[in-house]
Amino acid sequence: MKKIHTAVTLIIIFFMVAALYICGRYENAPDRIFTGKVSAPEGEWTIDASDGVTKAEVTFSLSDRGEHEEWVLLLRSHWKNYYVRVGDETIYYRNGKRDGSVHLFDIPSGDSLTISFIGGTKDNLKGIENSEILIGDKTSMYRRIIKDNLYAALIGVLSLAFGVMCIVACLYMKAEKTEKIYRALRNLGICILTEGIWVVTDSQILLLVTQHTSIIEQISFLSFFTLPFPLLGFIKEIMPGKHRMLSVMRKLFVFNLVLYLLNYISGCDMMIIILICEHLLMTVTLLRVIWNGVNENKRHKNLKLQRVINGCVAYCVFSIIALVSFYYGNVVSYSYIYSVGIAIFIVFLINAACIVMYEQVQENANVEIYARMAYMDTMTGLGNRTAFLEENKSNAVFPGMISYIMMDANNLKKINDSLGHNKGDELIITIAKCMRAAVGQNGQCYRIGGDEFVIILKNKTAEETEEIIRQVRAEIEFADEQSDIPISVAMGYVWTDAEEKNLQELIHCADEKMYQDKKQIKENTPSA
């Protein structure tokens, strides 16, 4: 199954590359405008459809043009064949649907501008009626393009920022070995980037930098038709339960994408049908996600699922409004409304992803805390007996020098009995602080019993070990001077550089020395 999925993916990528290649090879684009009153010109349409073939022509006067004014024409039309003339000079001729539908033209000197639409039938005159024609000076035209498409630039920048953030976050989650969250964030990042590409390429903002609108439109369609795949991937990872319906919808989206690519490459004219299918598939998918999400949310309250549902509802509402606008011929409003709907949807998905990340980070932190607690003495923060035994497993084969310093708190039972367990705990905690202060990064400290402590030093000479012992004693003496309870310890150590180490014997030897030290301390301490 995985091989079939890979083969289908490679075939689709091949067709996508082929479609982009055909765009670049056969596009007939006018020269690019480099830089600024824009209005729809006044003119009379002459339409002849008497013989079943539509011929439409309109002529605009250029008499209001100043001597040194540079005028440009913005023409948006999905009509396959038309040409633009200034006087008797043809400045552009579109022959076929692979040329872009939106172009900017430099208008050379002349008295009149004529746009002629040829071909088609009398039943599709709406294609001419829906064309957009604007004339003005360059600066004003550019300002109008920026103003009308500022939303696309803004969404594009935000999509890039949030998309990259999601990709970075997914790489972090992969490093944390949270595969499910990694896949969810990866799909969301790709979804956001794809959405940004679609919004930008579906607008006219790129006319400011290129006239190759055929390739731009192809990228727009490809991003629109591929947008459902990362979206479905994200929803699949974030929604609980089985996802048979999502798998079925994914296959239908793949089929529709392949149908679009074959339609474009072969030159067929099924675009409207394919678009309707894509819109229906997206609507059905979102409604199904809402239905499943609401039912799941009734059983188990799920904040991230609620965010996905809210996003789907917003997307559906804006999509329906946009589709009504699209099929009533207002393509500009369709793009704007649909873009806003997708942007709101993405915001909800980002919110859901943040909730997922927070929950996962919190869970990882809890796991890490529990793991540390399993090897930590909760009173002192030192390693516990379990950690000490684990460390000894590796110390048995440690090739370098190693030292064991055994320590035992003096008078703990006496302090507990006479002053209370709080003071006994204070004694234990103070000794642990002294150990950490003296040892630092030079070794590891453990509490292995009620009043028993161990310090393990590696790659330290015997002289360095004795110096650390002196530092521990100095810290203990200083703490004793500052405290209202007697603080002292008995200590014994063993050092070895032997390759083969008998740890039991070493620890026993250090213990014996510690008990000798304890005995000596008792003998030297005057009885009360």
Average pLDDT over residues 156-175: 82
φ/ψ of 452, rounded to 5, equals -105, 135
Residue with tokens 């396959």: 80
The pLDDT of 417-437, averaged and rounded, is 90
Per-residue pLDDT band for 376 (boundaries 50, 70, 90) equals confident
Rounded percentage of the chain residues whose pLDDT exceeds 90: 12
Q: Choose one of 85, 109, 137: the last residue of a domain.
A: 137
pTM over 0.85: no
Q: What is the pLDDT of residue 406?
A: 92
Domain encompassing residue 399: 385-524
**CA angle at residue 26 from 21 to 31, to 5 degrees?**
110
**DSSP state for residue 425 in the 8-state scheme:** H
Tell me, what CATH number does 101's domain have?
A: 2.60.120
What confidence tier does 396 reach under pLDDT thresholds 50, 70, 90? confident
Could you tell me if 293 and 179 lie in one domain? yes
Determine, yes or no, domain membership for 13: no
**3-state secondary structure at position 78:** coil
Q: Are residues 185 and 333 in the same domain?
A: yes
CB contact set of 121 (below 8 Å; sequence gap of 6+):
49, 52, 53, 54
The answer as to whether 117 is a domain residue is yes
Q: Which residue has the higher pLDDT, 423 or 372?
A: 423
Residue 37 has pLDDT above 70, yes or no: no
| Same structural domain, 238 and 355 | yes
User: 36 falls in which pLDDT band (50, 70, 90)?
Assistant: very low
Closest CA to 352 of 317, 306, 314, 297: 306
Highest mean pLDDT of the ranges 1-15, 119-133, 149-163: 149-163
Could you tell me what percent of the chain has a pLDDT over 70?
A: 80
CA pseudo-torsion sign 396, 398, 400, 403: negative
Determine the residue type at 69. E
Task: Look at residue 97 and tell me if it is in a domain.
Answer: yes
Q: Same domain for 159 and 286?
A: yes
Considering only CA atoms, give the Rg of the chain: 39
Cα 428 to its chain centre, rounded Å, is: 48
Q: Write the pLDDT tens digit of every residue in 253-281.
A: 999 999 988 888 887 778 888 888 888 88
For residue 192, what pLDDT band results from cuts at 50, 70 and 90?
Answer: confident
Same domain membership, residue 489 and residue 450:
yes
Residue with the larger pLDDT of the pair 351 and 404: 404
Name the more confident of 481 and 337: 481
Average pLDDT over residues 331-359: 76
Average pLDDT over residues 439-450: 89
- The verdict on residue 259 lying in a domain is yes
- Phi/psi at 198 (5° precision): -65, -45
Does residue 37 fall inside a structural domain?
no
Look at residues 137, 162, 180 and tell me which one is the last residue of a structural domain: 137
Per-residue pLDDT tens digits for 472-498: 999 999 998 888 888 899 999 999 888
Mean pLDDT of 104-124: 75
Q: Are residues 208 and 281 in the same domain?
A: yes
154 and 113 within one domain: no
Mean pLDDT of 147-156: 86
CA 426 distance to own-chain centroid: 49
CB 234 within 8 A of CB 188: yes
Residue 98 sits in the same domain as residue 216: no
Once rounded to an integer, what is the mean pLDDT over residues 401-407?
Answer: 91
Indicate if 121 and 182 belong to the same structural domain.
no
Give me the pLDDT at residue 472, please: 92
How many domains does one find in the chain? 3
Say which range, 212-216, 470-474, 516-520, has the weakest mean pLDDT: 212-216
pLDDT at 15: 67
User: Is position 119 within any domain?
Assistant: yes
Q: Which residues 6+ apart lie within 8 Å of 504 measured at CB?
A: none
Q: Is 213 among the domain residues? A: yes
Burial of 16 (0-12, 13-18, 19+ CB in 10 A): buried
Answer whether residue 475 is part of any domain.
Answer: yes
- At residue 391 the predicted structure's pLDDT band, cuts being 50, 70 and 90, is confident
Specify whether 155 is located in the same domain as 118. no
What does the alpha-carbon distance between residue 287 and residue 301 come to, in Å, rounded to a whole number?
A: 20
Among 114-118, 235-239, 387-391, 454-458, the range of highest mean pLDDT: 454-458
Q: Quote the CA–CA distance of 234 and 216 in Å, as a whole number.
A: 27
275 and 390 in a single domain? The answer is no
Task: Indicate which CATH number applies to the domain containing 501.
Answer: 3.30.70.270
